[in-house]
Structure 1
Amino acid sequence: MLAGIPFTAHAYEHDPRAAAYGLEAAEKLGLDPDRVFKTLLVTVDGALAVGVVPVAMQLDLKALAQALGGKRAEMADPTVAERKTGYVVGGISPIGQKTPLPTVLDESAILCETIYVSGGRRGLDLELAPDDLLDITSGRYAPIARIR
């Protein structure tokens, strides 16, 4: 249990040569990539926020900005992302960040009983219900993913 929310941790052997951490997690854990989500830090009108999208898709920055009532979004600097979350890029979890940030989970997660998100380091994913993820992050659903 994590803050009263049930989850299952799934560890796998991370390959440091892997180019796409989320796709690596899906492959090593034998999962449909639609159930494995990546955590991306962005700035929306200058303020940090979190977008959580399926690993095989891309974050739609304009849709994320709109979901948070902003005008413009861009990817956050990786150094800033690591400093604000306390996690290393490729292992950033939407849960337990040093600084709680506005969080948006792609609405496709609604179709899954459970989803997988990074557990805070490369080689560790957490399986939990999408509604529970939103409860623990005070997040919301929105259509923020697009096909690559």
Structure 2
Amino acid sequence: MARRTDAASAGTPATVALARAGVAFTAHAYAHDPRAAAYGLEAAEKLGLDPARVFKTLLATVDGALAVGIVPVADQLDLKALAGALGGKRAEMADPAVAERKTGYVVGGISPIGQKTALPTVLDETAILCETIYVSGGRRGLDLELAPDDLLAVTDGRYAPIARPR
């Protein structure tokens, strides 16, 4: 997998962070429909991918502190499991305005990579089954393909069972 520097991938904090870290990735752009209700499922459909390989980035507060949970787009974030993975007791979804302010990204385009504020990050363990996974590239209509271990290396994250079926 080669780094991409075409116009579709240039310029997001996520692609800059990956390039700076020397992490191999491929940028995949697609035409985002602003009426789409589920951004991650839209990405999987438009890119012709199995939704089990496309992951969404969700922000939650764990015992009052922000954290990132990354789960397959067809699943839900198990808040209790996320709290446990981070040594906490209670978690709830973060306010979208807070998520945007702390990450520097807009909802629907929040990447786990290159966020303004480094946050504790947990990737659902099902990612281990994939050679590569897809995460938001930092804007709606752009996903980045990379190895899950590379994602964790660049975010200083960890694996844990944090997803549950819808």
Question: What TM-score does the superposition give when structure 1 sets the normalisation length?
Answer: 0.99
Question: Hey, what's the Cα distance between the residues in 2 that align with 1:55 and 1:41?
Answer: 14
Instruction: Map residues 76-87 of structure 1 onto 2, 5 A cutoff.
Output: 76-87=94-105
Q: Does 1:50 align with 2:68?
A: yes
Counterpart of 2:9? Answer: none
Match of residue 21, structure 1, among 39, 43, 56: 39
Deviation at 1:27, TM superposition (A): 0.1
What root-mean-square deviation, in Å, do the aligned CA atoms of Structure 1 and Structure 2 show? Answer: 0.5
Any unmatched runs of 5+ in structure 1? Answer: none
Match of residue 131, structure 2, among 91, 113, 119: 113
Percent identical residues: 89
Q: Does 1:38 align with 2:56?
A: yes
2:143 partner letter: D
Question: Hey, what's the Cα distance between the residues in 2 that align with 1:104 and 1:119?
Answer: 17
Instruction: Map residues 65-80 of structure 1 onto 2, 5 A cutoff.
Output: 65-80=83-98
Deviation at 1:32, TM superposition (A): 0.1
Deviation at 1:46, TM superposition (A): 0.2
Counterpart of 1:136? Answer: 154
Question: Hey, what's the Cα distance between the residues in 1 that align with 2:32 and 2:122?
Answer: 26
Deviation at 1:131, TM superposition (A): 0.1
Structure 1 consecutive aligned stretches of length 4 or more whose deviation exceeds 4 Å = none
Match of residue 110, structure 2, among 57, 81, 92: 92
The number of aligned residues is 148
Question: Hey, what's the Cα distance between the residues in 2 that align with 1:72 and 1:46?
Answer: 8
Q: Deviations over 1:86-129 (max 9, x none)?
A: 00000000000000000000000000000000000000000000
Question: Hey, what's the Cα distance between the residues in 2 that align with 1:81 and 1:22?
Answer: 17
Matched position secondary structure for 2:107? coil
Question: Hey, what's the Cα distance between the residues in 2 that align with 1:9 and 1:31?
Answer: 14
Deviation at 1:55, TM superposition (A): 0.0
Question: Hey, what's the Cα distance between the residues in 1 that align with 2:90 and 2:162?
Answer: 14
Question: Hey, what's the Cα distance between the residues in 2 that align with 1:94 and 1:8?
Answer: 15
